[in-house]
Amino acid sequence: MNPFTGRPVELGLRSGADVEVLSGLSTDDLIIVKGANNLLPNQAVETITPVKKS
């Protein structure tokens, strides 16, 4: 389990389900795509293997 740590990101263009992230993330960061509104700081979250988009 990993602790949840929220931080601001700057978003750019959106197209359907795709969103451009302009700043605030590194290439090795894991992101929460669903249910983040219910998380508390440092709450344990289970990670899954990221799917690489080709």
Q: Domain for residue 50, yes or no?
A: no
Residue 52 belongs to a domain: no
Q: What is the DSSP secondary-structure string of 14-47?
A: EETTEEEEEES--TT-----SSGGG--TT-EE--
Percent of the chain with pLDDT over 70: 98
Residue of 7, 40, 42 whose CA lies nearest to 23: 7
Tell me which residue range forms the domain holding 16: 2-45
* pLDDT tens by residue, 14-32: 999 899 999 999 988 888 8
Residue type, 50: P
Quote the pLDDT of residue 9.
92
State the Cα–Cα distance between residues 45 and 52, nearest whole angstrom.
Answer: 20
User: Nearest 5°: phi and psi at 12?
Assistant: -115, -125
Q: What average pLDDT does the segment 5-11 reach?
A: 89
Q: Does residue 11 belong to any structural domain of this protein?
A: yes
The domain total for the chain is 1
Instruction: Confirm whether 14 is domain-assigned.
Output: yes
